[in-house]
Structure 1
Amino acid sequence: MKYKQLIQQMTLEEKASLMSGKDFWQTQDIQRLGIPSMFLADGPHGIRRQAVAADKLGLNAGVPATCYPTVATVANSWNTDLGERVGEYLGEEAVFQNVNVLLGPGINMKRNPLCGRNFEYFSEDPYLAGKMAAGYIRGIQSQGVSACVKHFAVNNQEERRMSIDTVLDERTLREIYLTAFEIAIKEGQTKALMSSYNKLNGTYANENTHLMQDILRGEWGYGGTVITDWGGSNDRLSGLLAGNELEMPTTAGETDKEIVEAVSSGQLDESVLDENVDRLLDLIFTTGEARRGSVANFNVERHHRVSQKVAEESIVLLKNEGAILPLKFGKKVAVIGDFAKDARYQGAGSSIVNPTILDHTLNCFEESGIISIGYEQGFERYGKKNRQLIQNACAIAGQADVVLLYMGLDEVTEADGVDRPTMAIPENQVDLLDALFEVNPNIVVILSCGSAVEMPWIGKVKGLLHGYLGGQAGARAILRVLSGDVNPSGKLAETYPLRYEDTPSYRYFPGKEVTAEYREGLYIGYRYYDTAGVDVLFPFGFGLSYTTFDYSDIVVQPDRVTFTITNSGRVAGMEIAQLYVGCESGEVFRPQKELKGFTKVFINAGESKRVTIPFDDKTFRYFNIITNKWEVEEGNYRIMIGASSADIRLEELLFVEGTGAPVPYDREKLPTYYSGKVNEVKDEEFEQLLGRSLPVSTWDRSKPLGYNDTIAQCQYARGWFARLTFHLISFAHWFLRKTGRRSTANLLMMSVYHMPFRGISRMTGGIVNMPMLDGLLMIANGRFFKGLRHFIKERNKMLKQRA
Structure 2
Amino acid sequence: MDKYSLLDKMTVEEKVTLLSGKGLWKTAHFPHLQIKSLKMTDGTYGVRYSPEQIDDNASWTISDFLDVVSQSANDEHSHTGGSEALFGKTLPATCFPNGSSLACSWDRELVYQMGKALAHECHSLGVNILLGPGINIRRTPLSGRGYEYYSEDPLLSGELAASLINGLQDQGVGACLKHFACNNSEYRRTEMDSIVDERALHEIYLAGFKRAIDKSNPWTIMSSYNRLNGEQTSQSYSLLTTILREQWGYQGLVMSDWYGIKDRPRSLKAGNDLAMPEVKRDKDELRNAVENKEVTMAELDASCLRMLTLLEHVPQRELQDVDFAQHHTIAQKIAEESIVLLKNDENILPLTTTKYKKVAIIGRGAHSPIIQGSGCATTAPYMLDRPLDEILDVANDDFSIDYAVGAPDDYHEHPQEMEKATELAARSDVAVVFVNTVIGEDGENGDRKNLSIAPTHESLIKAVAKKQKELIVVLSNSDSVIMDWKDQCKGIVETFFSGQGVGRAVANILFGVINPSGKLTVTFPNSLEETPAYLHYPGEGVNASLKLTHLSALSPK
Normalised by the length of structure 2, the TM-score is 0.92
Count residues with an aligned counterpart: 525
Match of 2:30 in 1: 30
Match of 1:128 among 153, 156, 163: 156
Deviations along 1:165-195, whole A, 9 cap, x unmatched? Answer: 2212111111110000001111121011110
Deviation at 1:406, TM superposition (A): 0.2
> Does the CA contact (< 8 Å) of 1:109 and 1:124 recur in 2?
yes
Pair 1:674–1:261, CA change in 2 (3 A): closer
Deviation at 1:516, TM superposition (A): 5.0
Deviation at 1:332, TM superposition (A): 1.9
Deviation at 1:272, TM superposition (A): 1.0
> Does the CA contact (< 8 Å) of 1:336 and 1:377 recur in 2?
yes
User: Where do 5+ consecutive residues of structure 2 fail to align?
Assistant: 69-86
Match of 1:49 in 2: 49
Match of 1:92 in 2: 120
Q: Helix, strand or coil: the match of 2:433?
A: strand
Q: Does 1:278 align with 2:305?
A: yes
CA distance in 2, matches of 1:73, 1:202: 33
> Does the CA contact (< 8 Å) of 1:508 and 1:516 recur in 2?
no
Deviation at 1:97, TM superposition (A): 1.1
User: What code does the residue aligned with 1:376 have?
Assistant: A
Match of 1:303 among 312, 315, 327: 327
Pair 1:400–1:502, CA change in 2 (3 A): same
> Does the CA contact (< 8 Å) of 2:410 and 2:455 recur in 1?
no
> Does the CA contact (< 8 Å) of 2:362 and 2:432 recur in 1?
yes
Match of 1:756 in 2: none
Deviations along 1:111-145, whole A, 9 cap, x unmatched? Answer: 01100110000000111111111111000111101
CA distance in 2, matches of 1:357, 1:512: 45
Q: Helix, strand or coil: the match of 1:497?
A: coil
User: What code does the residue aligned with 2:463 have?
Assistant: A
User: Where do 5+ consecutive residues of structure 1 fail to align?
Assistant: 524-589, 592-672, 676-688, 690-803
Q: Does 1:453 align with 2:481?
A: yes
Pair 1:40–1:512, CA change in 2 (3 A): farther
CA distance in 2, matches of 1:437, 1:123: 32
| Higher RCO (C-alpha under 8 Å, 6+ residues apart) | 2
Superposition map of 1:625-704 within 5 A = 673-674=554-555
Deviation at 1:19, TM superposition (A): 1.2
Q: Helix, strand or coil: the match of 1:501?
A: helix
User: What code does the residue aligned with 2:311 have?
Assistant: I
> Does the CA contact (< 8 Å) of 2:140 and 2:531 recur in 1?
yes
CA distance in 2, matches of 1:90, 1:469: 18
CA distance in 2, matches of 1:415, 1:520: 21
Match of 1:482 in 2: 510
CA distance in 1, matches of 2:37, 2:540: 39
Deviation at 1:510, TM superposition (A): 1.5
Q: Helix, strand or coil: the match of 1:147?
A: strand
Deviation at 1:386, TM superposition (A): 1.7
Match of 1:360 in 2: 386
User: What code does the residue aligned with 2:343 have?
Assistant: K
Deviation at 1:2, TM superposition (A): 6.6
Normalised by the length of structure 1, the TM-score is 0.64
> Does the CA contact (< 8 Å) of 1:2 and 1:278 recur in 2?
no
Q: Does 1:261 align with 2:288?
A: yes
User: What code does the residue aligned with 2:519 have?
Assistant: K
Deviations along 1:511-557, whole A, 9 cap, x unmatched? Answer: 3545555546223xxxxxxxxxxxxxxxxxxxxxxxxxxxxxxxxxx
Superposition map of 1:181-580 within 5 A = 181-252=209-280, 254-287=281-314, 289=315, 292-329=316-353, 331-369=357-395, 371-517=399-545, 519=547, 521-523=549-551
> Does the CA contact (< 8 Å) of 1:334 and 1:397 recur in 2?
yes
User: What code does the residue aligned with 2:493 have?
Assistant: L
Aligned Cα root-mean-square deviation (Å): 1.7
Match of 1:80 in 2: 108
Deviation at 1:505, TM superposition (A): 1.1
Q: Helix, strand or coil: the match of 1:362?
A: helix
Match of 2:82 in 1: none
Match of 1:179 among 192, 203, 207: 207
User: What code does the residue aligned with 1:257 have?
Assistant: D
Match of 2:76 in 1: none
Q: Helix, strand or coil: the match of 1:406?
A: strand
Pair 1:194–1:513, CA change in 2 (3 A): farther
CA distance in 1, matches of 2:458, 2:392: 29
CA distance in 1, matches of 2:252, 2:504: 40
Q: Helix, strand or coil: the match of 2:336?
A: helix
> Does the CA contact (< 8 Å) of 2:410 and 2:456 recur in 1?
no
> Does the CA contact (< 8 Å) of 1:365 and 1:372 recur in 2?
no
Deviation at 1:365, TM superposition (A): 2.6
> Does the CA contact (< 8 Å) of 1:164 and 1:513 recur in 2?
no
Q: Does 1:9 align with 2:17?
A: no
Higher Cα Rg, which structure: 1
> Does the CA contact (< 8 Å) of 2:437 and 2:452 recur in 1?
no
Deviation at 1:43, TM superposition (A): 1.6
Q: Helix, strand or coil: the match of 2:26?
A: coil
